[in-house]
Structure 1
Amino acid sequence: MGAADAPVVGPARDAPPVARRRGRGGRGGEELRVPEAEFTSYYGRPILKAPVWRWDIAAYLFTGGLAAGSSLLAAGGQLTGRPALRRAGRVTALGAVTASAYFLIHDLGRPARFHHMLRVAKPTSPMSVGTWILTAYGPAAGLAAVAEGAPLLPARGVFSPVRRLLPPAGQVAGLAAAAVAPALATYTGVLLAGTAVPSWHEAYPELPTIFAGSALASGAGVGLLAAPCAQAGPARRMAVAGAALELWGAHSVETRLGLLSEPYRLGTAGRLLRAGRLLTAAGVVGALAGRRSRVLSALSGTALLAASVATRFGIFHGGVASARDPRYTVLPQRERIRRREAGQV
């Protein structure tokens, strides 16, 4: 059931106008004001059941984006002849997608549940589509990363054919992983927006954009950390593009959604998203200013990675907070009803 279809329960109808107690002789006296309604629900329970996801799903959102951004970085290094950038992107992509699989299976509770999800393919389900995206991306990213170890194999003997075949196989696999990377970076935004959680559901245009920008920025952070300044040009360009998408999307969800923007500005979510914006801006400025400074480039990369973590966790906590407070379900529903009635008249 979507957020727009949830039953309207909780507060009473709008309070009646202020009444005035009449004094002697009909003269005006003390004002009587009805107390403002409190947004509660039956037995004090939330109207919507808050997500039962724990911190591992917020971490899964980050590592999936990091894997996608790193594969795009590696493809850029491969196509422009920057081996350090390619190597850093491939190795990080494999580590991040492995962590993603761990966090997802840990949340499911049993590894067999992930296997069971592969028995069906449901295009209308973001979770089903995301499982297949992760399954297609993982082997490609793994082969690309393993190919980086080809020079370590003996040039003669049984490993000689493997040493010759791995580099071209890694080139193909790296480009295949980069082709799947945009879907891996954004499907989690579609997944959150498809729930009944009010502040996620209403942010459906922005969440994929934010997650795409965050993925690019985190991939750029890897390049700035690992590659020498002479090879970090694509990482700097990725940082600018990712920061633009991420900052625009974060600003939009904090201003466009009206009341439902509030959970993104308050509490833990607000602190995390503000920190994410500051770190993103600092990372981009440092990346552009540190073209010849290895230290400044590394600091910029660290800031971009930290910004991606803060943004993903901030979006996660904002949605959970909106599901726990009944007024984020009731008031938007009433506003939609009023708009429909006005349109019918």
Structure 2
Amino acid sequence: MTTSEFDATRPPEPPGRRRRFGKLARPRKRTPGGRTDGSAEMLMVPEAQFTSYYGKPVVKAPPWGHEVAAYLFLGGVAGGSGLLALGAQLTGRELLRRNARLGAIAAVSLGGVALVRDLGRPERFYNMLRTFKLTSPMSVGSWILTAYSGGAGITAVNEVDRLVGERLPLGPLRPVLRAVEGPAGWEAALFAGPLAAYTAVLLSDTANPTWNAAHKDLPFVFVSSASLAASGLAMVTTPVRETGPARALAVMGVAGDVAAMKYMEGRMDPVAAEPLHHGHPGELLKWAERLAIAGGVGAVVLGRSRVGSALSGLALLGASALTRFGVFEAGIESAKDPRYTIEPQRRRLAERQAAGVTDDSITTAR
């Protein structure tokens, strides 16, 4: 036995009590038969309570501000408007085509400003274009945004030039812009869908509990939300005689948005889906659903009235914005509470073990 100079200051232990394998042993109670039942033993270590390391979050919340949420919304507006502009181009609706094209370039420009503001320095966006990495949603998304902006920019310049009576100082460049206007509209439409959906992949390709749990269905929610935004903007800015395609897109977008959101929530882990229903994110998403339904009904019932069409369009725009902001804030909230990370992990582990999967890096044999 080793001794220490501090042994003299250590309080004596009560007689008959000793530590044994992490437990505080007591004399066992004897039953009438002379046997001990072990009921007198008391654990030295209390029952484990659910917590994380020093109470810190298990997953670090992304350092993103509302600029990113605004970029998510504006990317949807731009993507949906690009598709709507191509439809107007093919059907000869000049006002709808012009307004959709101008709305697309305005949205993608404001979205780029929001993205650069979040990055901190403009050259960081340029640095993302120095490589192309298929496994990185940020890298692929940067190229999608750049390609879409090129086509949308060409069509927008043509529309502005016609709007001001061909007074832009384009010189010999004007015939070239007119010649490539049609292909540029197709090129913008080609990248419109990926632009509306890639931000969902960007969010879900993280360790954030709520975003990651929604990775299978979040792109469908974002595409439907983009349809709401684009159709709503067209209904606000365009006379009702040319908004027929926008109203049809609005109805399909509302049905897709509500159905995709419900389906996504049903397939998510119930714990990881909680932030979508509670607190401020839950309120945003409840109002998003209400505004989407109101806008869709208005597009059908009031779509041929200029005032009714504009009010319905505003409701659709609001629904799309609240959907993006609600999903964004729900993910931020889920990263702050360790429960949203640990409980789904435990459930997945139990399911794999129950299925007999015991030979991989996640599960181990019991």
TM-score > 0.5 by shorter chain: yes
Write the deviation string for residues 293-314 of structure 1: whole angstroms up to 9, x where unpaired.
1110000100000101100000
Describe the SS at the equivalent of 1:344.
coil
Moved more, 333-342 or 276-285: 333-342
- Structure 1 Cα separation of the partners of residues 179 and 49 of structure 2: 65
The aligned counterpart of 2:295 is 283
Tell whether 2:261 aligns with 1:253: no
Unaligned runs of 5+ in 1: 1-34
The offset of 1:152, in angstroms, is 5.1
The offset of 1:168, in angstroms, is 3.7
> RCO higher in 1 or 2 (8 Å CA, sep ≥ 6)?
1
The offset of 1:223, in angstroms, is 1.3
Give the counterpart letter for 1:204 in structure 2. Answer: H
1:169 aligned to which of 156, 173, 180: 180
The aligned counterpart of 1:333 is 345
The aligned counterpart of 1:273 is 285
**Does the CA contact (< 8 Å) of 2:78 and 2:107 recur in 1?**
yes
- Structure 1 Cα separation of the partners of residues 229 and 168 of structure 2: 40
Unaligned runs of 5+ in 2: 1-45, 358-366
Number of equivalences: 314
- Structure 1 Cα separation of the partners of residues 76 and 249 of structure 2: 14
The offset of 1:40, in angstroms, is 2.3
Write the deviation string for residues 133-183 of structure 1: whole angstroms up to 9, x where unpaired.
011111111111110123356679985644444334322212210111000
Distance 1:218 1:158, change over 3 A: closer
**Does the CA contact (< 8 Å) of 1:153 and 1:160 recur in 2?**
no
Distance 1:173 1:343, change over 3 A: same
Write the deviation string for residues 85-134 of structure 1: whole angstroms up to 9, x where unpaired.
10110001011111111111111111111111111100011110000001
- Structure 2 Cα separation of the partners of residues 308 and 103 of structure 1: 17
Higher helix share: 1
Give the counterpart letter for 1:186 in structure 2. Answer: A
- Structure 2 Cα separation of the partners of residues 168 and 286 of structure 1: 39
1:197 aligned to which of 204, 208, 225: 208
Give the counterpart letter for 1:325 in structure 2. Answer: D
- Structure 2 Cα separation of the partners of residues 186 and 322 of structure 1: 22
**Does the CA contact (< 8 Å) of 1:199 and 1:322 recur in 2?**
yes
1:108 aligned to which of 119, 122, 128: 119
- Structure 1 Cα separation of the partners of residues 264 and 274 of structure 2: 9
- Structure 1 Cα separation of the partners of residues 302 and 156 of structure 2: 28
- Structure 1 Cα separation of the partners of residues 117 and 169 of structure 2: 39
The aligned counterpart of 1:143 is 154
**Does the CA contact (< 8 Å) of 2:161 and 2:167 recur in 1?**
no
Distance 1:159 1:137, change over 3 A: closer
The offset of 1:256, in angstroms, is 2.8
The offset of 1:54, in angstroms, is 0.8
Give the counterpart letter for 1:150 in structure 2. Answer: D
The offset of 1:291, in angstroms, is 3.3
1:43 aligned to which of 40, 54, 66: 54
Tell whether 2:316 aligns with 1:304: yes
**Does the CA contact (< 8 Å) of 1:186 and 1:209 recur in 2?**
yes
- Structure 1 Cα separation of the partners of residues 59 and 134 of structure 2: 26
**Does the CA contact (< 8 Å) of 1:63 and 1:99 recur in 2?**
yes
Write the deviation string for residues 201-231 of structure 1: whole angstroms up to 9, x where unpaired.
1111111001000111110011111111111
The aligned counterpart of 1:238 is 249
The offset of 1:184, in angstroms, is 0.3
- Structure 2 Cα separation of the partners of residues 282 and 111 of structure 1: 40
The aligned counterpart of 1:134 is 145
- Structure 2 Cα separation of the partners of residues 157 and 134 of structure 1: 26
Question: Identity, % of aligned pairs?
Answer: 50
Q: What is the root-mean-square deviation of aligned Cα atoms in Å?
A: 2.3
The offset of 1:198, in angstroms, is 0.9
**Does the CA contact (< 8 Å) of 2:210 and 2:334 recur in 1?**
yes
